[in-house]
Amino acid sequence: MAVSTNDLKNGMTLDLPDGLFTVVEFQHVKPGKGGAFVRTKLKNVRTGAVLDRTYRADEKLEQAIIDKRDMQFLYRDGEDYVFMDTASYEQLQVSAQTLGDAAQYLKEGDGAIVQLYQGELVGIDLPAAVELTVAETEPGVQGDRVSGARKPARLETGLVVQVPLFVNPGDRVKVDTRTGEYLTRVS
């Protein structure tokens, strides 16, 4: 579906000859001399690379329609992750490379919004924070309560985060999926 550069919006996905891109930022510029143009910042959906492009005003670009489905992570099958569509109960196998960093935050039974373009997974939206169990960390030493001191902890998914000294193995912690940082201990 063709869309005019005058109608661009943040978050819109475009199917360009270079690949699939999401509009991160755009600015309509009308200089004193010459024609108007649109300056854009585009992010490649597959690689994450960001590039700046300038288009003439009212130039036509191909808009990509992304199908967002609510899915549940069921289990790992070797190197692949198996998701189930919560509406149709169809299953989708996805490789760990395709998921990227999102794989470190997924545990069985978790929900996620999967982005599909022409049947191919192009992205995954996770909740802002997830709760994971600490699998392994050094014990906190009694009396060692330096303000703001941190220690590494390996979580149930294999993700390693810096946690406060009072966190012990078996504790549940909340982790920010955007930054990968420890937020709080969950009781």
- Spans of all domains in the chain: 2-62, 67-125, 129-186
Q: Look at residue 142 and tell me whether its pLDDT is greater than 80.
A: no
| Average pLDDT of the segment spanning 96-108 | 83
Residue 112: name the closest of 74, 147, 144, 146 by CA. Answer: 74
The pLDDT confidence band at residue 146, using thresholds 50, 70 and 90, is low
Fold: same for 2-62 and 67-125: no
CATH superfamily assigned to domain 67-125:
Nucleic acid-binding proteins (2.40.50.140)
Lowest mean pLDDT among 96-100, 102-106, 160-164: 96-100
| Average pLDDT of the segment spanning 46-67 | 86
- Structural fold of domain 129-186: OB fold (Dihydrolipoamide Acetyltransferase, E2P) (2.40.50)
Q: Look at residue 106 and tell me whether its pLDDT is greater than 90.
A: no
User: What pLDDT is stored for residue 174 in this prediction?
Assistant: 92
- In CATH, what class is 2-62? mainly beta
Above pLDDT 90, what percent of the chain?
Answer: 8
Phi-psi region of 178 (alpha: psi -120 to 50; beta: other; left: phi over 0): alpha
Neighbours of 122 (CB within 10 A): 19
Q: Look at residue 41 and tell me whether its pLDDT is greater than 90.
A: yes
**For residue 7, what are its two tokens?**
């109608």
User: What pLDDT is stored for residue 109 in this prediction?
Assistant: 86
What is the rounded end-to-end Cα distance, in angstroms, of the chain? 49
| Average pLDDT of the segment spanning 38-55 | 87
> Between the CA of residue 103 and those of 87, 95, 155, 162, what are the distances in Å?
22, 10, 13, 19
Distance CA 126, CA 101 (A): 11
Residue 71: name the closest of 89, 53, 55 by CA. Answer: 89
